Copies of this chain bind each other. A is one copy, B any other.
Amino acid sequence: MKTVQGGITAAKGFSAHGAHIGIKRKRNDLAMIVSEVPALYSGTFTTNVVKAAPVIWNMEIYKHKHPVMAIVVNSGNANACTGDQGDVDNERMAMTLAKGLGIKKENVLVGSTGVIGVELPIEKIIKGIEENICHVKTGYEAGRLAAEAICTTDTFTKEVAVEIEIGGKTVTIGGMAKGSGMIHPNMATMLSYVTTDVAISFDMLDQAVKDSVEDAYNMISVDGDTSTNDMCTVIANGMAGNDIIVEEHEDYLTFKKALDYVNKTLAKLIVKDGEGASKFIEVNMYGTRSKKEAQVLAMSVITSNLVKTAFFGNDANWGRVLCAMGYSGVKFDAKKVTLKYESIAGTIDLMVNGVPQKFDEERAFDIIKEKEVTVNVFLEEGTSKGTAWGCDLSYEYVKINGEYRT
């Protein structure tokens, strides 16, 4: 596996464009992705009961296994909590792009991200799609424009692409994402788009995507709120020409490993771009009965406001980590826990086999004050492990989220 330049236009047969059509004041707000040939589509959808119109639209396409040939995304407005009008507007977005490309509306995925509860400026969007279809093209620069256009309050675009070899053929996977939470979270749904030219069966693609999302996007937390618009989208058009992957053999594992890399990279970029976040935190749980339990424990720690504020204050207040593990719902023996903090400045033992350690506060401070800190917890319940990623909770977070609309 090697990383290559670009994002969603890195794989064969994918073109894109991003433009400013006036939903937002200045920055690009319309992205389009087109596949030269029909692509298989797998993805995950927000678990929020309140689902934005584009989420419901895409779920239908996924359910019917319609091939996908294009994706249109607007930023600046989430088209969520917009009643029946929201569904009508969403369909018009899909229809406009479909018409322009000479395909059917059910071959077009839609995405929206931005403010909740305000109707889409649909005429602007229709005009914007019509005027910009001609600009859709291949090449990494076109991918970058699209990556910019899905951003809301992100401070940098999030792109990654890798190449692997499958049966002598070069397969490429590329992706782009936008951040969640931290700044104006109503405008900051988690969206991720991954394109690949791998040839694979629907079932195998679907399995790889579901597993990969579990260990990537579902293991990050910025502020614990699940948006109405969150979606992860993966489309595969088969243009790499490899023997089609139809079972869980070596080729599948090669593809899955690369997909995991792409998704985890995008997920971590989202966390790192949490504005107001001053620190990137990785939490590893070792010695659990299952990976799931390790992940539940790690997520409970990374979402705790008390843990997050302690890290913001560079404070080795490790009791909060134990406390957050304790209310996660996972059973474990606290008298067997070993807990360490680690960064490039070193490692410090805080609890060893359930016994609190007397430690040098200054040394702890030096370790925690780094920009990336790892919390390592060792239990004695089993042999599984799991990891979650998050950030601290800062004044900036409160400021940004408290003062956005007023």
Chain A residues at the B interface, C-beta cutoff of 8 Å: 47-51, 78, 80-84, 115-119, 181, 185-186, 223-228, 304-306, 309-310, 312-320, 322-328, 330-332, 334-335, 350-351, 354-356, 361, 365, 393-395, 397-399, 401-406
Contact = CB atoms under 8 A, between A and B. Distances in A.
26 contacts: A48-B323, A48-B327, A49-B332, A50-B323, A51-B326, A80-B319, A81-B356, A82-B356, A83-B335, A83-B356, A116-B320, A186-B320, A186-B323, A223-B305, A224-B304, A227-B323, A309-B402, A310-B402, A310-B404, A315-B403, A315-B406, A317-B404, A361-B405, A361-B406, A393-B398, A395-B395
A55 to B, nearest CB: 11
A398 B397 contact: yes
How many copies of the chain does the oligomer comprise? Answer: 2
A50 B325 contact: yes
Nearest to A316: B405
Contacts of A328: 49
A328 to B, nearest CB: 8
A351 B49 contact: no
Contact of A315 (B316, B335, B405): B405
Nearest to A276: B398
Nearest to A80: B319
Given A83-B355, A185-B306, A330-B49, A117 B225 contact: no
B81 A315 contact: no
Contacts of A327: 47-49, 225-226
Contacts of A361: 405-406
Contact of A313 (B49, B226, B350, B401): B401
B402 A117 contact: no
A-B interface, 3 closest residue pairs, ranked by CB to CB distance from nearest: A116-B319, A313-B402, A50-B326
A365 B402 CA distance: 13
A82 B320 CA distance: 14
A223 to B, nearest CB: 5
A140 B393 CA distance: 42
B49 A325 contact: yes
Nearest to A229: B323
A397 B118 contact: no
Contacts of A405: 310, 313, 315-317, 361
A351 B324 CA distance: 36
A356 B395 CA distance: 31
B395 A399 contact: yes
A312 B81 contact: no
